Amino acid sequence: MTQKTPGQLRDDAAEALREPGRRRIELLAALEAVDAELRPLVREARRMEVPIRRITELTAVAPNTIRAWSRKDGE
C-alpha cells in the first residue's frame, strides 16, 4: 500500500469541501433572497408595533437584525 503525499492529502481535503461548499453557497443565495423579501415586511410589522420578540418567533430573524432592518435608510 502506498502512502499519499502531503500534496495529495491536501488535494483530497480540498475536494471533500467542494460539494458541501457548493450547497452552502446555494443556500446563502436563497437566504439572501428570502431576507430581501422579509426586510420590508419586518419594517412594516415594526411600524404596526408588532413586538420584536413576535417577529423573531415567526421569522427566526435575530432581534438586532430586526432593529437594523426597522431603521429608515441612512439612519
- Condensed to tens digits (0 to 9), the pLDDT of residues 10-66 reads 999 999 999 999 999 999 999 999 999 999 999 999 999 999 999 999 999 999 999
Residue found under cell 423573531? 56
- 10 neighbors 4 (Cβ within 8 angstroms): no
pLDDT greater than 50 at residue 74: no
- 69 neighbors 39 (Cβ within 8 angstroms): yes
Say what the pTM is: 0.76
